[in-house]
């Protein structure tokens, strides 16, 4: 037999539950979206830089970048050494314009950059299948010039990943706190509903209803309200994320380019209302069972 | 069926509302429980329908000691007891039919059989034409008949009625008592708590009298011939 509608959901403090769950799901979805986007971006940065090193050849005193002379001889020697090294797929010397473009955000587009003794930069793509012997390569390059520096981006990438991971842990902590707060609100709301329907509960108890039967009445009520609130919260999140994505698109930044969520990420966010409904229902059930355990 | 041994009930730190209650309700018996308002009739019935644990003493229902029975086994015992309340306690958001069907639904009965039983029972109490009505649209007497139908739909072995005639006039009260007698004739043990002495005198059933928190032999009706305890002993057996 179906459960009769004995616990109307429009009575007591419980009627605010959908709105509280909506707010919780909204913030949880925002935190989740940020965490997922960061995770995705970190993965992309790691993939982009994992097979890349940059060789920096500082200019000798009195020489400017692009000028013929000892610098060019050092560059040619380095390129030759790189091409002779196993595990290196591509070697590309950055043009002076490209180096100037990299510095432009910090130094401006005036003539200052042209006056500076800029290093020569060589972008080296490593083979993903055949590992290169970087320590040996560094030894060779040190013979050409002890000031020649090989940057495998690990320090920069490490800091970035640590920052990203810290932020992701914070997002997880936010989610955990939101879950905790939701449970607290559900417990309060369920106790309030239990008190409001105590006469019905006592009657069912006297008729021989098992605790599970009575708890199910509250469980379905809480699940219905949790799902309603969760869907409202998700709709609000969708609107907020859409607005944010429009703003981010205007920036056209190289880092923000990776922040779009994957289909799996979107599916995770879409599951939040159902998870919220489940959490609400199970918390309500547990709360009712605890209250009922005080009855003989 | 129901056996109390030196039972006492105390709420919080106050004095005992029931003291040294010893009684035995035999299967298929009919018993009145009388006493002034506040004498402890409702507390005594609560013990019988397993809604209140005694503070001391032993309460046995269907051979099971209430205090020692595992909590998970109590619902099965409660389903063998029907309870009628003075204020009916019908659920306003359910129809007459659904109110009466509720104990069957709780027990997980088959819906088809439940429909047949509920319809027959409501016919028996004279409310066959009001199945889908809301309890709010019924008179006090009709509501109490629905409450009685709900209490007996599971064919309980024990029917407890707490002031069932308190909210109806004398004519309806007499008719309700006749309903209880019919149930009694079908083998159900019935205990009716009431402070309506005039009504009690119209029937020849044993009487339990509660006074000053203690069960005493009553003074009204021929039923006292069947009590085996001396005055003041608190022991009444049928």
Task: ipTM value, please give it.
Answer: 0.86
Are B114 and A4 in contact (CB < 8 Å)? no
Q: Quick count: other Cβ atoms within 10 Å of Cβ A154?
A: 12
Q: Where residue A180 falls among pLDDT bands split at 50, 70, 90? A: very high
Q: Which pLDDT does position B226 carry in this prediction?
A: 37
Residue range B168-192, pLDDT digits in tens: 778 888 888 888 898 899 899 999 9
To test the contact with chain A by mutation, choose from B86, B93, B153 the residue with the greatest count of A C-beta atoms within 10 A, namely B93
Q: Which pLDDT does position A86 carry in this prediction?
A: 86
| In contact, B138 and B97? CB cutoff 8 Å | no
Q: Which pLDDT does position A254 carry in this prediction?
A: 53
Across the range B33-62, mean pLDDT stands at: 92
* Lowest mean pLDDT segment, chosen from A58-62, A81-85, B64-68, B86-90: A58-62
Q: Which pLDDT does position A284 carry in this prediction?
A: 94
Percent of residues, chain B, with pLDDT higher than 70: 91
What is d(CA A77, CA B222) in angstroms, rounded to the nearest whole number?
127
Q: Which pLDDT does position B175 carry in this prediction?
A: 82
- State yes or no: pLDDT of B198 exceeds 60: yes
Nearest by Cα to B148 from B95, B113, B190, B111? B190
> How many angstroms separate the CA of residue A197 from the nearest CA in chain B?
11
Q: Which pLDDT does position A209 carry in this prediction?
A: 94
- State yes or no: pLDDT of A115 exceeds 70: yes
Q: For chain A, count helices (H), then strands (E).
A: 10, 4
Contacts of A210 in chain B (CB under 8 A): 72, 75
- State yes or no: pLDDT of B223 exceeds 80: no
Q: Which pLDDT does position B74 carry in this prediction?
A: 95
Are B104 and A203 in contact (CB < 8 Å)? no
Task: Report which of residues A32 and B238 the model is more confident about.
Answer: A32
> How many angstroms separate the CA of residue B39 from the nearest CA in chain A?
22
- State yes or no: pLDDT of A230 exceeds 60: yes
| In contact, A148 and A77? CB cutoff 8 Å | no
User: pTM of the entire structure?
Assistant: 0.75
Kindly identify which residue of chain A lies nearest to residue B66, measuring between CA atoms: A296
> How many angstroms separate the CA of residue A229 from the nearest CA in chain B?
25
Q: Which pLDDT does position B229 carry in this prediction?
A: 34
CA Rg value for chain B = 18
| In contact, B164 and B145? CB cutoff 8 Å | no
- State yes or no: pLDDT of B236 exceeds 80: no
> How many angstroms separate the CA of residue B49 from the nearest CA in chain A?
7
Q: Where residue A259 falls among pLDDT bands split at 50, 70, 90? A: low
SS3 content of chain B, % helix, strand, coil (to 5): 35, 25, 40
Q: Quick count: other Cβ atoms within 10 Å of Cβ A76?
A: 12
Residue range A26-43, pLDDT digits in tens: 999 998 888 888 888 777
Across the range A104-122, mean pLDDT stands at: 78
Q: What are phi and psi of A276, to 5 degrees?
A: -65, -40
Query: Sign of the C-alpha dihedral, residues B213, B219, B220, B221?
Result: positive
Kindly identify which residue of chain A lies nearest to residue B113, measuring between CA atoms: A1
- State yes or no: pLDDT of A165 exceeds 80: yes
Helix B111-124 × helix B140-152 angle, to 10°: 140
Are A296 and B102 in contact (CB < 8 Å)? no
Kindly identify which residue of chain B lies nearest to residue A205, measuring between CA atoms: B75
- CA dist B181 → B31, B48, B177, B218 (Å): 11, 20, 6, 20
- CB burial string B33-62: b at 16+ within 10 A, e below: bbbeeebbbbbbbbbbbbbbebeebebbbe
Q: What is the average pLDDT score of chain B?
A: 85
What is d(CA B21, CA B6) in angstroms, rounded to the nearest whole number?
5
Contacts of A296 in chain B (CB under 8 A): 50-53, 66, 71, 74
């Amino acid at each position: 037999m179906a459960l009769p509608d004995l616990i109307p959901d429009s009575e007591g403090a419980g009627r605010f539950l959908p709105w509280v769950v909506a707010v919780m799901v909204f913030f949880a979805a925002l935190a989740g979206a940020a965490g997922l986007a960061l995770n995705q971006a970190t993965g992309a940065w790691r993939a982009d830089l994992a097979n890349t090193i940059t060789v920096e050849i500082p200019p000798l005193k009195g020489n400017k970048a692009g000028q013929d002379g000892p610098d060019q001889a050092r560059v040619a020697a380095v390129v030759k050494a790189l091409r002779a090294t196993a595990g290196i797929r591509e070697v590309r010397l950055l043009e002076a314009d490209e180096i100037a473009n990299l510095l432009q955000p910090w130094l401006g587009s005036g003539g200052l950059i042209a006056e500076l003794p800029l290093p020569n930069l060589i972008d080296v793509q490593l083979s993903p299948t055949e590992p290169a012997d970087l320590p040996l390569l560094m030894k060779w390059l040190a013979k050409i010039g002890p000031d020649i520096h090989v940057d495998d981006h690990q320090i920069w990438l490490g800091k970035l990943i640590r920052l990203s991971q810290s932020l992701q842990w914070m997002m997880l902590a936010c989610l955990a706190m939101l879950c905790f707060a939701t449970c607290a609100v559900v417990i309060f709301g369920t106790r309030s509903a239990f008190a409001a329907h105590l006469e019905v509960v006592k009657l069912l108890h006297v008729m021989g209803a098992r605790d599970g039967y009575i708890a199910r009445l509250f469980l379905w009520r809480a699940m219905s309200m949790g799902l309603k609130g969760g869907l409202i919260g998700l709709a609000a999140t969708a609107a907020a994320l859409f607005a944010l994505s429009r703003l981010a698109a205007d920036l056209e930044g190289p880092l923000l380019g990776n922040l779009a969520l994957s289909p799996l990420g979107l599916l995770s966010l879409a599951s939040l209302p159902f998870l919220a409904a489940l959490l609400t229902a199970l918390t309500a059930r547990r709360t009712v069972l605890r209250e009922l355990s005080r009855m003989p | 069926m129901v056996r109390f041994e030196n039972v006492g009930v105390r709420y919080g730190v106050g004095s005992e509302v029931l003291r040294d209650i010893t009684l035995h309700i035999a299967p298929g018996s009919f018993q009145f429980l009388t006493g002034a308002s506040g004498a402890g009739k409702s507390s005594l019935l609560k013990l019988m329908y397993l809604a209140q644990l005694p503070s001391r003493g032993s309460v046995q229902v269907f051979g099971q000691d209430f205090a020692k029975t595992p909590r998970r086994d109590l619902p099965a015992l409660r389903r063998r007891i029907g309870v009628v309340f003075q204020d009916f306690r019908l659920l306003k958001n359910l129809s007459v039919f659904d109110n009466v069907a509720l104990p069957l639904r709780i027990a997980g009965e088959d819906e088809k059989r439940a429909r047949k039983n509920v319809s027959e029972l409501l016919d028996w109490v004279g409310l066959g034409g009001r199945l889908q009505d809301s309890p709010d649209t019924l008179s006090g007497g009709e509501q109490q008949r629905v409450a009685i139908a709900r209490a007996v739909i599971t064919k309980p072995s024990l029917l407890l009625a707490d002031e069932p005639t308190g909210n109806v006039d004398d004519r309806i009260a007499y008719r309700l008592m006749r309903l209880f007698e019919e149930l009694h004739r079908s083998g159900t043990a019935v205990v009716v708590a009431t402070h309506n002495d005039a009504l009690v005198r119209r029937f020849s059933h044993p009487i339990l009298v509660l006074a000053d928190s203690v069960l005493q032999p009553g003074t009204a009706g021929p039923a006292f011939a069947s009590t085996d305890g001396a005055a003041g002993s608190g022991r009444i057996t049928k």
